[in-house]
Structure 1
Amino acid sequence: MKVISNAEFGGERPLFESHDLRLENVIIRAGESAIKECSNIEAVDCRFEGNYPFWHVHGFVIDRCFFDVGGRSALWYSDHLKMTNTRIDAPKMFREMHDIEIENVEINDADEVFWRCRNLNIKNLKLHGGTYPFMFSSNIRIDGLESDSKYVFQYVKDVEIHNAKITTKDAFWEVENVTIYDSELNGEYLGWHSHNLRLVNCHITGEQPLCYAHDLVLETCTFGPDCDRAFEYSSVQATIKGAIGGVKNPRTGCITAESYGEIILDENIKAPADCKLRLWDEKTCFTD
């Protein structure tokens, strides 16, 4: 493998069609497509300032690197990436990619990151700012996530998340086959129009969560006091520790909680309109 150390490159395509190359303490200055149409690339302790550095790259490692604001849209149409201990200040990263491993990465402008990607294995990721991370992506496993980005995980499929703290709104809309364990989900309108969304030991805050959901499952979850009008038109099986502030017109299934705030079951409820609302002592069922 060829090694380039302590060097700088700029302009357009300075390392075009490179293969079996290791970059150590290299700076990519202003320009475009520095490492395009390449394979078997390693970048360690490098800085990327120019646009689109890694496009159509097949098999690469990025460790202890920094993507400056100018390094936007840096990783597109590529595969088999392992990225570790890296900071990214540029938006629109990771597009149309597959087979990605990430560990200890911080993205400080998470606008439109991870779009149309598949086969992601992520550990300890921080997302700040931006909108629509993970749009249209699939086969994702995450252990350790902090995010304050808006509209996260929309239209995703086959996702498993552990130990996350997500502060957002309109998260997990139109998802399919998503399971979230031991996490904190803060924001309005969580999980609308989802299919097979499962929450295990999660804490949920925000208005009108989990409406229009199909085959929704909650296992020993807790709700903040601001959670009102939950489960509208949803099919749901839920066990809730503590109180839930309000429930409105769940379509079918069973909800068990220690106590309820406002319960709305009115003429607008949708068939089969047979959801059971129970207390933990199983002696009281509000819909029998």
Structure 2
Amino acid sequence: MKELRDKEFGGERPLFASHCLRLESVTFHAGESALKYCGDIVAVRCTFEGKYPFWHVDGFEVKDCLFTPGARAALWYSRNLVMTDTLVEAPKMFREMDNLSLSNVRIPDAQETLWHCRGVKLRNVEVANADYLFMHSSDIDIDNYRQQGNYSFQYCKDVVIRNAVIDSKDAFWNTENVTVYDSELTGEYLGWHSRNLKLVRCRISGTQPLCYCENLVMEDCRMGDDADLAFEDSSLHAVINSNVVSVKNPRSGSIKALAIGETILDENLLAPGDCEIVTEI
């Protein structure tokens, strides 16, 4: 493997179509597409300042690196990435990618990040300003994760999340086969129009959660004082180890909670309208 150490590059495509290359303490200044159409790249303690540095790359490791705000849209149309111990200040990262693993990564400006990605593994990752994170992505495995940003995980499939704190309005809309364990979910309109959403030992806050769901499962969950008007037009089986402020027109299944402040069953209840509601004080 060829090695470049303590170098600086700028302009357009300085290392175009390079393969079997190790970069250590290399800085890529303003420019475009520094490593386009590359493969078998290792970047250690490098700084990326220009746009689109890793496009159409197959096989690369990024360790202890910095992507400045100028390195926007840095990793697109690529596959087989391992990124560790890295700060990503650039927005709109990770599009149309396959098989990417992020560990000990911070993304403080994660707007429109991780779109149309397949085979995503996150460990000890923190994101902020993450509006529209994870659009149309699939096969996602997340553990020890913190997120602030709205409209996340929309249209995602086959997702497992553990030990997360997710602050996100409209999270998990139109998702399919999502399971969340031991996590805190805060935000309005959680999980609307989802299919096969499963929440295990989670705490849920925010108004009108979990409406229009198909086959919602909740096990040993808790709901906050602002989680009102829950479960409208949902089919579900829920065991909730707390009080619920209000439940509105659940379509079918069962709800078991410590107490329910108000149960609303009105003329808008859709068939079959036979959800079993049980409370234990």
Partner of 1:114 in structure 2? 114
Structure 1 regions of 5+ residues with no counterpart?
A: 282-288
1:149 deviates by: 1.1
Partner of 2:242 in structure 1? 242
Moved over 6 A (4+): none
Partner of 1:284 in structure 2? none
Q: Secondary structure at the match of 1:227?
A: coil
Structure 2 regions of 5+ residues with no counterpart?
A: none
Matches within 5 A, 1:202-221: 202-221=202-221
Q: Distance in 2 between matches of 1:235 and 1:246?
A: 16
TM-score by length of 2: 0.99
Partner of 2:73 in structure 1? 73
Matches within 5 A, 1:190-229: 190-229=190-229
Amino acid at match of 1:213: C
Q: Distance in 2 between matches of 1:260 and 1:125?
A: 36
1:278 deviates by: 0.2
CA deviations on 1:59-86 (whole Å, 9 max, x unpaired) are: 0000000000000000000000000000
Q: Distance in 1 between matches of 2:63 and 2:78?
A: 17
Q: Secondary structure at the match of 1:35?
A: coil
Between Structure 1 and Structure 2, how many residues are aligned?
281
Partner of 1:87 in structure 2? 87
CA deviations on 1:233-281 (whole Å, 9 max, x unpaired) are: 0001000001011100000000000001111011110000000110237
Q: Secondary structure at the match of 2:247?
A: strand
Partner of 2:140 in structure 1? 140
Partner of 2:149 in structure 1? 149
Matches within 5 A, 1:53-64: 53-64=53-64
1:159 aligned onto 2:159: yes
1:9 aligned onto 2:9: yes
Q: Distance in 2 between matches of 1:154 and 1:130?
A: 12
1:130 deviates by: 3.5
Q: Distance in 2 between matches of 1:75 and 1:105?
A: 14
Q: Distance in 1 between matches of 2:279 and 2:263?
A: 13
Amino acid at match of 2:127: L
CA deviations on 1:144-168 (whole Å, 9 max, x unpaired) are: 1100111111000000000000011
1:54 deviates by: 0.1
TM-score by length of 1: 0.97
Q: Distance in 2 between matches of 1:267 and 1:213?
A: 19
Question: Quick check: 2:146–2:166 contact (8 Å CA) kept in 1?
Answer: yes
Q: Distance in 2 between matches of 1:252 and 1:179?
A: 20
Q: Distance in 2 between matches of 1:72 and 1:11?
A: 15
Partner of 2:36 in structure 1? 36
Identity of aligned residues (%): 56
Q: Distance in 2 between matches of 1:202 and 1:33?
A: 42
Question: Quick check: 2:130–2:147 contact (8 Å CA) kept in 1?
Answer: no
Amino acid at match of 1:55: W
Amino acid at match of 1:194: S
Q: Distance in 2 between matches of 1:208 and 1:246?
A: 9
CA deviations on 1:213-238 (whole Å, 9 max, x unpaired) are: 00000000000000110000000100
CA deviations on 1:162-218 (whole Å, 9 max, x unpaired) are: 000001100000000000000000000000000000000000000000000000000
Partner of 1:100 in structure 2? 100
Q: Distance in 2 between matches of 1:24 and 1:280?
A: 62
Amino acid at match of 1:153: F
Q: Distance in 2 between matches of 1:188 and 1:89?
A: 27
CA deviations on 1:12-63 (whole Å, 9 max, x unpaired) are: 0000000000000000000000000000000000000000000000000000
Partner of 2:272 in structure 1? 272
Q: Distance in 1 between matches of 2:5 and 2:100?
A: 26
